[in-house]
Structure 1
Amino acid sequence: MFRLFSALTTLLFLGSSPLWANPITLSDSDDWRIRGTLGLFAAAKTNGDVTVAGNTAALDMNLKDALEHLDFTTTGRLEAWHGRLGLIAEGHYIGLSETATLSAGPGAGRSAEVESTQSWLGLLVGYRAISGEMGNGRPYAFDVQGGARYNRLTQSVVGSGGLVNAGGTERWWEPVVGARYAWEIADSWTGAIAVDASGFGANGNDLAWSANLAISKQFNARSSVVFGWRHYDINFETTRSDGAFGADFYSTGPFIAYAYTFR
């Protein structure tokens, strides 16, 4: 069971931060600039603890372990900027399933069918706080974002013979803030450092944060590939009628994304 939830926690956050480490542009314009991004975060290491229906286990997994039980996942981000102001939407879905033996808690030692799906939609406003040129004449920019994220988590654990039957759906809103610094490395190459944080105690999420280092290669006026490294950390805990539910772990590893500029 908890290999499944390690896979979930390793992959379910691939859509939020790595994809926006690369800015849509380093220069301001009165025309609209619109960009969409799709990508994958490959967590090379996940470590911490998860709790489901009062069952708790430690996580210590690599990428191969996490990918074994992935059913389906998709993620994306859309940014639209006009001058120094931007509107940002991000969406994500992941589904996982596995037959496993519960390792701790009320159902310890029992075999169970486990299913879990996670989805969210984030809506943010961005502001280009600083932009200019470095000493070598190449541009740089610093922007900040703030908004809200709607989360939906559904999970079930059904043991053989009906001895274990737990599950349900959690829905919640939480605030999210972020900042991004980007600079032109060379012609068609851009670097970026981005950080974000969410939760702040809202609806059980004490704090989730990530830090990202990215490099983008632009192939033509519309297409770019973004790659880099991401570290993500979360501390979430709530109590349901079937017991405690929580996650306290970190994931770290490389990511890659494709970005398309519509205009």
Structure 2
Amino acid sequence: MTAGRFGDLLAAEWIKFWTLRSTRWLLGLGTLAVVAFAVRNSLEAYQDWPGFPAMEKARFSPLTEAFSGLSATMVMIGAGSLGALAIVGEYATGLIRITLNAVPARHRVVAAKLVVVGGVMLAVGVFVSATTFGASQAILSGRGVAVSLGDPGVLRVLAANALLAPVSGVVGMGVGALLRHTAGAVVAVCAVLVIVPTFFRPTVHQWLNDLYALVPFYVWRTCLGLPQLRDDPALPTVTGSWAVFAAWPLIAAVLALLAVRRDV
């Protein structure tokens, strides 16, 4: 298949993705909610700052006000659900059979879907990360506690925040290709990406810590999302955490390809 024909596939997948009503609603309202949450947290911190005890001021993290664990949860659930719906919707309507009959090279179809879903989610993730950071630090600068892009760890945190959406979107697509059931895929995405990892905590058993360090939400929460890393051998390393961020969408993409290739 020529590059031109692959471009046609991308255009078709782009149209199908944006014709899903859930795409516009989840992206629009979800993005607005995350940004509004950052603004609200920052305004509350700004107002309450004079009354904070000295210890609380010393532990205060401006980046947490911009993008908290709840924000990460909303982003991952929203992006993962959209990724699942991008392929489950075609199976539900039977459109996937028409697509595969028209394009026998199924790996091209999957590749086009991955590019569209991953690209849109990356754009959304970058926008959310930059907007929440900018709005939050603009508010907190009035108290002299804002951080800048040049401060240690800030760029790493912003990059990790931005990548949560594309990682989750592609993983969601892989889950959707395997389950092919709307409700089941969305529930599975939420459980795998967020709900189960929420309960993970560092333990005295290093094998468990190593297992936890294979989960995107966990490594974000205990490593990549922290401007100042904790000196604890039980916690994930930065290099290992980035590897996890890369491995999950890669594995999901392979699973999606294998699932689609086995269709009759």
Q: Structure 1 length as normaliser, TM-score?
A: 0.28
| Larger strand proportion of the pair | 1
Structure with the larger helix share:
2
